[in-house]
Every structure is written in C-alpha cells, then in structure tokens.
Chains A and B, each alone.
Chain A
Amino acid sequence: MAYRIMIVEDEYWNAMEMATEVEDRGGIVTGPLGSLSEAMDLLHGPERPDAAILDVNLRGADILPFADMLLRRKIPFVFATGYDKAILPERFARVPHFEKPITLKDCVDTALALAAGHEAQKAP
C-alpha cells in the first residue's frame, strides 16, 4: 500500500532526493516542506501522514516542538541531521537518526517501515 511520507527538509536538493526515493519505492510524498510553518500548517490540515522524515536543523528553527506534536499524534518519524546526535533531548533518544549526507535508501526504508508498523498498530 502507498504510505504517505511527510518530508520536512529545507535543503532543496536533499528534499528532492528524498521525494524521488520515496516515490520510487511506491510511497506518496507529503511536501516536501521547506519551513516549519508550512509543516505545522500541513499537520493541522486534513492530510495525515503515516510517517515523517524530519530535518533537525531547519534553518534557525527549533523543530523540537514540532517533533513533540508528532509524538503526541503518534506519527512515527525519523531524524535527518547534519549535526551530532548528542544535542537531542532524552525523549527522542530512540528516534531513528540519520546523519547527512544520509544514506537515502536506509532513511526511506526506515520511514516506510515505521509507516507500515504504525498502520499495523492501527489495524483492529
């Protein structure tokens, strides 16, 4: 089934890459969204992603509140970051984490798997 993967990434190239990979794997790309405000808007909208790929360092913006929102809505996600893992708070310790330049394949695989797992949880 085609899972909706939300991509939040401000670097155009990375975003395009991820989008292409997701689509190549049969997923549906929600976005990509280059800014936090756009991402928030989408989350409040009708579309609900099955999983998300979240860039940790969206230009100057603090994505942690957004990540918390994803946690609350039980939307699984992975981090893509150009910084070391250490700076993330404890509650995100178990979130899968990919350092740039990310291995696209692994990242997208994980996102899709999470979407599937999440979907499986929802099933009665």
Chain B
Amino acid sequence: MTMKYKLDETVLEDLDKGFCVLEVLFDPDEQANDYRFLTTNAAFERQSGLANAEGACISALSARVEQEWLDAFGRVAKSGRAERFELHAPSFGRWYDAYAFPVSTVLRHHVGVLFNNITGRKEQEARLRRSREVFKALVTAGTYSAFRMSTDGRIMYPVDSESLERTADPIVDWIDKLIPSESRAHVRAAVDEAIATKSRFELEHPVLFAGDKQRWVLSRAVPVMDAQGTITEWFGVGTDITERRKVEEALRKSEERLRQFAQASSNILWMRDADTLQWTYLSPAFERIYGLSCQEALCADNPRAWLELVEPDDRARVSAAIQRAREGERITFEYRVRRPRDGELRWLRDTGFPITEEAGKVVLIGGIGQDVTEIRRAQERLEASEERLRASVEVGRLGLWDWNVRTGAIHWSDEHFRMQGYEVGEVMPSYEAWKTRVHPDDRERLEHELHRARETQGEFVAEFRTLHPDGTVRWLNGRGRFFYDVAGQPVRMIGAMIDTTERRELEDRQRVLVAELQHRTRNLMGIIRAVADKTVLASSGLPDFRSRFRGRLDALARVQGLLSRLKEHDRVTFDELICSEITAMNGEASRVRLSGPKGVRLRSSTVQMLAMALHELATNALKYGALGQPDGQLTITWTLEENGAGSRPWLHVEWRETGVEMPPDTAPRGAGQGRELIENALPYQLGAKTRYSFTPDGLHCVISVPVSTAAEAA
C-alpha cells in the first residue's frame, strides 16, 4: 500500500523549495538502487524539472540516476538521521541544495526531501572562483593595491589581494579623488567603455598620492558576472609603472630624436635584415638620392631590385662588403648607382655595421649611405688639376718647394732635386739639404735675402749658383713667399726655381758681342775720321775728295757687310774678301785672275785693314795700273803657310800687275796713300810683312799676314 501523505497544502504549496517524500528501494545487498516519489509539492516540478513524478520511480523518470543521490537517500533511510547536502546532477547541469530526513519512525524507507535548485548560485560561485583566478593572475610583482569596484564604476573598495577582504573604507567617486583633474575624463571614459562592453578594463593613468605627488599606475580590472551575464562587481589591481614610464619616455624621446635625425639627415640611414638582406628601414634621404620612394623600395624583393641599380662593375664589390657585415665586420664601400628615373649616375659611400642580439648572432645590418658624387667630382677635378700642375711643373722645369716652417717638413718637385744635383728622392728635402748644394760664395747673400723676405713679408727673389757633386755649376733663379698666421708668425713658404744657366751664358756671350760691336763701331768712327783727314790731304778739290772718300767709305762698308753676316765663331775668308773687292771694281773684274785656296780665315781686325789695302791697290790699278790700260793684266795669288814664323799660319798674297806702261819717273802714284798703308799700317797693326815695288811692266806687291787659328778670337 502506498502511503500518501496529506500535505498541509498551505505550507507546502507556498513553499518555494521543492518538497517530496520518496520511498527508497533496496537491492538484496541492502544498497539503494532506486526510489519512488510518493508525494510532491507544486514547486517540485519547477525545482527538479521532473513532471508527473508522483507514483513514479526515478529510474523511469530519468535516464540517469545519480548514484550519489541514491547513496545519500539510502543513508538517511538506514540511519534514520537527517542529512543536508548538495547534490550535483551533471546530466541536467544542475545543482541542488537538499535536506533529507526520515518522515516516519516506522516506515524507515520513506524519506522526505526538501531541496533547492541552486544551479544559479553554484554557477555564480564557479564564476567567482574563475574571476578570482583571473584576478590572481593580474596580481604581479609591483602590484601595490587591489580593489573591488562597484558596477557603476564609482565606488572603489580597497581589498587584500589574497583574500579579497576589504582593507579600508570604500572610496566613493574614486576618479575625482585619486585621479589628477586633467586625466579624469579620459579615465572615466575608459571605465564607462569597459562597463558598457563588459570587457576587461586596462588603462595607464596618473594617480594622486599624498603630498601632491603623482605617479603612474597601470589599472587592470575584470568584471564579475552572474548567471544572467550581468556584472555584479569588478576586481582590479593597480601596478606602479612610474619608473617604467620614465624609461619608456626616455626611450620614446630618444627614438623621436633619432627619427628626427634620420628625417633631417641628408644621408640615408638604412637597416637590413641580416638573413634575407631585405631592407627594414630607409630614411627619407633615400628618396632624394635614389629618386625612388621609400615605400617602393621597402616592399618587393629589395636586395635584388637594389642590386639592379648598382653599376655592373661595382656589384661584386658591394655584395662582398655586405657579406662581410653579415659576418660581423664593420664595412665601408663606395659604389655607383644609376637612378632609374633619369639615368643619372651617382657615387655613394656606405658604412655598414652588424647589429647583434645578446647571443652575438648578427640579426641586422645597419648603415649610413652618403652621396659623394660631388665630392668625387671635386676630387677628380682636383686630381686633374694636380696632374696638370705636376705636368706643367715638369714640362716647365720648375723646381717647386713647399716648406712647412713650423715642422720643418719640405716638399720638393722632381726638378728641384735635379736642379741641385740630387737624384729624385735621393735625400729628404730640408733646408740643410738645399743649403749644402748652394755655392759657398752665395750662401750668405741667400740667407740674408731669406731673412729679409721673412721679416718684411715681402717676396723672396734671388739668383744663385748651385754646386753639383760632379763639379758642375748651375745658376738658379728662385722666387718665393712666406705665409703667416694671425699672430704674424711664418707658417709656410712656397716658391719656384728655374735654371738660368743657359740664359746667363747667352747673356754673357751677348754682352761680349755687344761690347765688341761697340768697340768696332767706335773704332770705325775713328778710322773714318782718319781716312777723311788723309783723303782731304790728297784731294785736289771737293769733287776729287768726294770720289776718293766715297771709294774708301764703300770699301769699309763692304767689310762691315761681310762682318755683319757672320754667325758666331765664323770668320771672313780671304777668298770672300778678295771677291768682294774685285766685284766692286766696276766691270773690270773679268781682267783679274784669282788663284788661291778657299777658306783661309781672317780675324776681324785683319779683314778691315786688308780690305783697305786691297781697295787702295785696286783703285791705283784702275787709275794708273793694269786695269786702267787695255793691255794690262792683274793677277792675284795667295797661299796659306800652315806653320810659318812664330809657329802660326801665314797668308801670303801676291798682287802682280803686268802689261802696264810705267811712267818714266818713279814718282809716287796718287798721293802714295796706298803705299803708306801697305808699307806702314799693315805691319803696324797686323804684324804683316810687306813689299811694295815697281817692276818695268807693273806693280808687284807682296803682303804676308798672320791669320787666325781655330782657337783665336776675332
């Protein structure tokens, strides 16, 4: 018989909890294995989720029978003692809080159960546990405060981070109280956002401390939610990050400075990944130099693309350099790139350095690239200019010196060495080395001039001799100048020397020639004057004077003509002289026979005198002698005696007139000036030996005169 308990409807029906009385069924081993619901209240179905349970066994109502429950009800039935416990029905996903008690002392298998579905609460507890776990995860070193926060975000409850128990009074409107005014809006907005989105709250913000001090805090809070997903409160922690922020700020500033630096620099700051060689960073200067945007360059397979821009000849060198950087070397390399946009060639100089991580592995290559095109061009121009200078110094045979007065170091051009009788590079250029080769007689003068130039800041000019080790003496002309610092001290002297030896020799020779010319000219004037005087004495009147004087003057003029055509060391030869005289004899030349060697050299003084004598002889021959008479014949013969009197060469000239009808007396023809010349002047001036005699058919005149050897001067 099934007992039905009449429940006091009023009490039990109003009961919120579920109530039932059940009969526990035992197996032969006295283990509870099922139970039958005898009575249930209204709330039973709601709480348990089992419908129409009265009269049914649990085994029929549910696929799963929780063993735990069977054990619990069995215990109560057997012991007759009430028990309170929580029951978990994993198949339903529910938790129950149950109180099971015996309802009858007689019917011990009958158990009353008062129970509550506490799933919600359990779930909430689970959530709380989870939150605490999350919360605990938030608590790190540096956490200085933990708190719980109200759902509206206004009230903060400081708590102990372990137990979550309150440690101090709640702070209402904590934002206004703890946060500096300028940050409040920001913090409030972040809190509101977290509340609205039910997400974690994380914010770095300043916090006011006692004494108006301010520190930076990282506040993090997690929401705690109920079964419905409503936030019940927040757990949070605060970590002091003031120091970290200072470090970060410093780093940020440093990076900002670096960024500005990179922006401003006209050099390309670049960074490559050491493994792939891909560029990871290019500063803006890249755009200006390459004519490509950094963006373009940073994507794509940039090592390959970049290498395409490098001049083919330079590619191997560039790749090798980068490889060395990869291996840990600092590198510097120069190369040319051709700009894609305009095809212009630029010279670049890159320095690169490896960037390693702590283990020493090279992870990045950093570098700075400089456009050195202008520098290179300037260098090329300089080199060309220096080459031109060097070439012109060499071609112009300039002996350049560049004297660093302070250090004593001197640079000499190649010619400078040679001018002083040194081999190029034979000695270290120095003041002493220079002075040693200066002729001893000129040294004092030179030192004096150097000193003068140095003191007066004027030009150094000096001509001096150098004595070469082989005894050669060369004349050098040097010009130079000192340069001074702001204090007026000489710091540098530069100058150039040229060899003036040849020029001086030429000048010397010219001086001699000019002197000789002057002498000859002055002499000539004297001779003309004397000849004029003599001619006056012999002339019978002005017309007579004129013709005689003109004749003699012309003879002198012919001699000057012969002499002036001479080159240095040349001499007038006798054959030239006699031909010149005969030619002047107005068409009678055909009646003259000449015989004698060519090339007998006469000294200048001899030439003049001899010419005068020959002129007299010829004039007389024309007037009175062989050339004035139809049958007359003139024969002039000459010979050279190599080794005559006084061990010198003598010229013997024989003037023979034949076929001449002689006058009856032996009175002198004309005024005898020719005779005087030949008999007196020639011996006087030339040391000549002469004989002037008349034979029955004409004049026979012999003139012997010493002539020049090759070694004699005019």
Contacts and interface: CB of A to CB of B under 8 A. Distances in A.
Interface stretch (A11-19, A41-49, A66-74, A108-116): A11-19
A108 B529 CA distance: 17
Interface string B41-76: 000000000000000000000000000000000000
B515 interface: yes
Interface string A53-94: 000010110000000000000000000001100000000000
A100 interface: yes
Nearest to A10: B685
Contact of B685 (A11, A99, A101, A102): A11
B680 interface: yes
B699 to A, nearest CB: 22
Interface in B509-526: 515, 518-519, 522-523, 525-526
A17 B523 contact: no
B681 interface: yes
Interface string B647-689: 0000000000000000000000000000000001100110000
Contact of B526 (A32, A34, A101): A101
A13 B605 CA distance: 12
A71 B204 CA distance: 124
B684 A34 contact: yes
Given A10-B685, A12-B685, A83 B529 contact: no
Contacts of B527: 11, 13-14
A16 B522 CA distance: 16
A97 to B, nearest CB: 14
B609 interface: yes
Nearest to B680: A12
B519 A11 contact: no
B428 interface: no
Nearest to A59: B605
A100 B526 contact: yes
Given A12-B685, A34-B685, A82-B518, A100 B530 contact: no
Contacts, number: 51
A57 B609 CA distance: 18
Contacts of A34: 684-685
Contact of B684 (A12, A17, A101): A12
Contact of A82 (B523, B531, B605, B681): B523
Contact of A100 (B522, B680, B681, B685): B522
Interface in B472-525: 515, 518-519, 522-523, 525
B196 interface: no
B684 A100 contact: no
Contacts of A17: 526, 529-530, 533
Given A82-B518, A82-B519, A100 B531 contact: no
A101 B521 CA distance: 9
Interface residues of B, number: 19
Contact of A13 (B515, B522, B531): B531
B526 A11 contact: yes
A14 B530 contact: yes
Interface in A9-32: 10-17, 32
B106 interface: no
B614 to A, nearest CB: 15
B645 interface: no
Contact of A12 (B518, B522, B525, B609): B609
Given A12-B685, A15-B684, A101 B515 contact: no
Nearest to B521: A82
B519 A83 contact: yes
B685 A57 contact: no
B154 to A, nearest CB: 124
Nearest to A11: B523
**How extensive is the interface on chain A, given as a class?**
10 to 19
A50 to B, nearest CB: 23
Nearest to B531: A13
Contacts of A57: 519
B648 to A, nearest CB: 14
Contacts of B684: 12, 15, 32, 34
Which interface residue of B533, B681, B684 has the most chain A CB atoms within 10 A? B684
Nearest to B526: A101
Contacts of A60: 713
Contacts of A99: 522
A12 B684 CA distance: 7
A59 B527 CA distance: 16
Nearest to B605: A59
Nearest to A20: B533
Nearest to A60: B713
Given A17-B529, A34-B685, A60-B713, A100 B609 contact: no
A67 B637 CA distance: 43
B530 A82 contact: no
B519 A12 contact: no
A101 B525 contact: yes
Nearest to A87: B515
B680 to A, nearest CB: 7
Interface in B277-301: none
Contacts of B681: 12-13
Nearest to A33: B684
Contact of B515 (A10, A11, A12, A83): A83
B526 A13 contact: yes
Contacts of A16: 530
Contacts of B526: 11, 13-14, 17, 100-102
Given A12-B685, A83-B515, A101 B522 contact: yes
A75 B546 CA distance: 43
B713 A100 contact: no
Which interface residue of B519, B527, B530, B533 has the most chain A CB atoms within 10 A? B530
Interface string B596-619: 000000000100010000000000
A82 B609 contact: no
B107 to A, nearest CB: 173
A11 B530 CA distance: 11
Contacts of B522: 82, 99-101
Contact of B518 (A14, A59, A83): A83
Contacts of B518: 82-83
Contacts of A59: 605
B510 to A, nearest CB: 15
Contacts of A82: 518-519, 522-523
A102 to B, nearest CB: 7
The 9 tightest CB contacts between A and B, nearest first, are: A13-B530, A82-B519, A101-B525, A100-B522, A12-B681, A82-B522, A101-B526, A12-B685, A13-B527
Given A14-B526, A14-B530, A17-B533, 14 more contacts: A10-B685, A11-B523, A11-B526, A11-B685, A13-B529, A13-B681, A14-B523, A15-B684, A16-B530, A17-B526, A17-B530, A34-B685, A57-B519, A59-B605
12 contacts: A11-B527, A12-B609, A12-B681, A12-B684, A13-B526, A14-B530, A17-B533, A34-B684, A34-B685, A57-B519, A82-B519, A101-B523
